[in-house]
Amino acid sequence: MRRGTRTGARAGAAALALTLAAGCGLGGDGDDSTVTLEFLSLAWQDESIAATKALVEEWNASHPRVQVKYVQGDWANVHDQLLTSFMAGEAPDIVHNDASDLVDFAGGGYLADLSELLPGSLLDDIPEQTWRTTRYDDGLYGVPFLQEPRVLIANTRLLAESGVRVPTPDQPWTWEEFERASAAMTQDTDGDGRTDTYGVAWSMSEPVSQSVNLSLSTGGRVFYQENGENEVRFGPADSAVAEVIHRQVNEDRTAPRSSLGMTGSDTLPGFFAGRYAMLPLNFSYRQQITQQAPDGFEWTVLPMPTGGEEHGLAQGVAPQTLSVSEDSDHQRAAAEFIAFMTQPEHVVDLALGDWMLPTSTQALADPALRVSEHGWRTGAELAAGLRPSPAIGVRGFWEWRDKIATPAFQRYYSGEIDLAGLREALTDDGNRTLDRYQR
């Protein structure tokens, strides 16, 4: 789904680009020769790559003395790739990543502090709570520009046939209502004693981010700070959503155990076949659904449930970010390119290409992101409830996630251990891991 180019917006962007070019020399770096900035992009969908490359070409056309070279990266190995290039002094000038991966690079001195390099218009356009995802020790190490909530993708026919109330961002389900709705959509249609349609399928091949981020919906966090140090806790507010998932799989049988080892993509064939009525997925999965859904299949986007009015539609996110390498010889020019990329009209194009939401307040109000088709309006209305993931800025998080939390959550959701066992693994073993990073 792409919009037509808006001539007026493009003209305004070009005018601003020419103003920057005229006013800053080589990005304010004081060099009279032409320089080339390397831009490592992690855009991966065809529409997103096209939108990103178009903006690079637009910049290059209006900045003959500051050229940007597009370099294609891969989300699957970007951390190791960046670590190697930073340590070798060969990092790209401009780095595309996500906020959860910045703390170690910022703490290691590999990223430039952008605090004095970004225009006030950009700083004002992105909410302060979003800027907190890239601030460490009073420095600003990235521009958060795209984000996505987790949503419920529902089979419209099965939702209607169940007779349950359809939730909206203004009146979402509580987690208790969600459990009842899942039960109403769970069916044994042929009476053979086996479930033909499950109310929900939880894809938990990577269970940690959603377990941590959704804990905000019930007032939890999982990660807390005590005397300036990070600590894992797993009290009732932190575990409430995990308990719902465990209950649906192991007690109510409204969610299949077989989906626990799946990715979101793995659940789509069963969703299209009517095997699952609802899927909790990241917002960008809508693009895959539009491409793969059979003719005539109808689906809708619903908000994730809430733990109560006092929590609203809170959930954690780790926005995609643009940063500048500390070793770059042209930090100011690189920062100006980032400011160009994240102008509201540009980030709308990037958001549409990635089927995500912009962090920019102005961009989020764009009519293209407020249409009902494919759930865009629902997603935009959820943006106010997005909060920085509690995992952002936690040194040692990746080791905790991979070695402790992932196997512990998987064992809990499959019924191998109980809540006490999960809590012990996450906190006892987990805090010993975090302590090693805080000595």
Per-residue pLDDT for 334 more than 70? yes
Q: How confident is the model at residue 16 (pLDDT cuts 50, 70, 90)?
A: very low
Fold of the domain built from segment(s) 150-316+392-437: D-Maltodextrin-Binding Protein; domain 2 (3.40.190)
Q: Are 68 and 94 in contact (CB under 8 A)?
A: yes
Q: What is the model's pLDDT at position 429?
A: 93
Which residue spans of the chain are classified as CATH 3.40.190.10? 7-147+317-388, 150-316+392-437
- Output the pLDDT for position 215: 98
What confidence score (pLDDT) does residue 121 get?
97
**What's the pLDDT at 424?**
97
For all residues of the chain together, what is the average pLDDT? 92
For 82-112, what is each residue's pLDDT tens digit? 999 999 999 999 999 999 999 889 989 999 9
Kindly state the tokens that stand for 9.
């917006």
For residue 96 the two structure tokens come to 């595309």
Per cent of the chain over pLDDT 70 is 93
Contact indicator for 261, 409 with CB cutoff of 8 Å? no
Q: What is the rounded distance in angstroms from the CA atom of residue 388 to the CA atom of residue 319? A: 8
Gyration radius from the chain CA atoms:
23
Q: What is the pLDDT of residue 8?
A: 35
Contact by Cβ (8 Å): 240, 307:
yes
* Average of per-residue pLDDT across 267-275: 98
Report the pLDDT value the prediction gives residue 32, as an integer from 0 to 100: 61
- pTM for the complete prediction? 0.90
Residue 210 has pLDDT above 50, yes or no: yes
Query: In CATH, what class is 7-147+317-388?
Result: alpha beta
**Between the ranges 27-36, 223-232, 314-323, where is the mean pLDDT highest?**
314-323
